[in-house]
Amino acid sequence: MALALDHLPAHRPSPRSARHLRLVEPLDPTPVGLPRSTYVRRRVMVGAVMVLMIIGAVFASRAQADEVRSASAPQYVIAQEGDTLWRIAERIAPNAPVSDVVDALVQLNGTNLRVGQVVLVP
């Protein structure tokens, strides 16, 4: 058995039958009872706050990324022939007290150095 369905409507509305539709003026977005200048000032302030929040988020994410990068990837130096902990400390931290840097190097790496050794830097 076959069933034939008519997918086209029997009566098509003509463009003239839509007389109840008409164009209207766009609505003013300002809230009722407020002057337009107040509305504009509020929008400008909201925009400025949003921009400042975005800038703050960018700087916070960069600072956090730098902190994670320095914490997760320790720096190191490869010991060369003739290197001592004192020379390495002078090279990696020229403005810091050398004895403090040497103490930190000893805590991380021990006291013996070999050529080609990876020396962790604090």
The identity of residue 47, as a single letter, is: G
What length does the chain have? 122
Q: Tell me: the pLDDT tens digits for 9-58?
A: 555 655 555 667 777 777 766 666 778 888 889 999 999 999 999 998 88
Is the C-alpha dihedral spanning 93, 99, 100, 103 positive or negative? positive
Across the range 79-104, mean pLDDT stands at 86
Report CA 14 to chain centroid distance, whole Å.
55
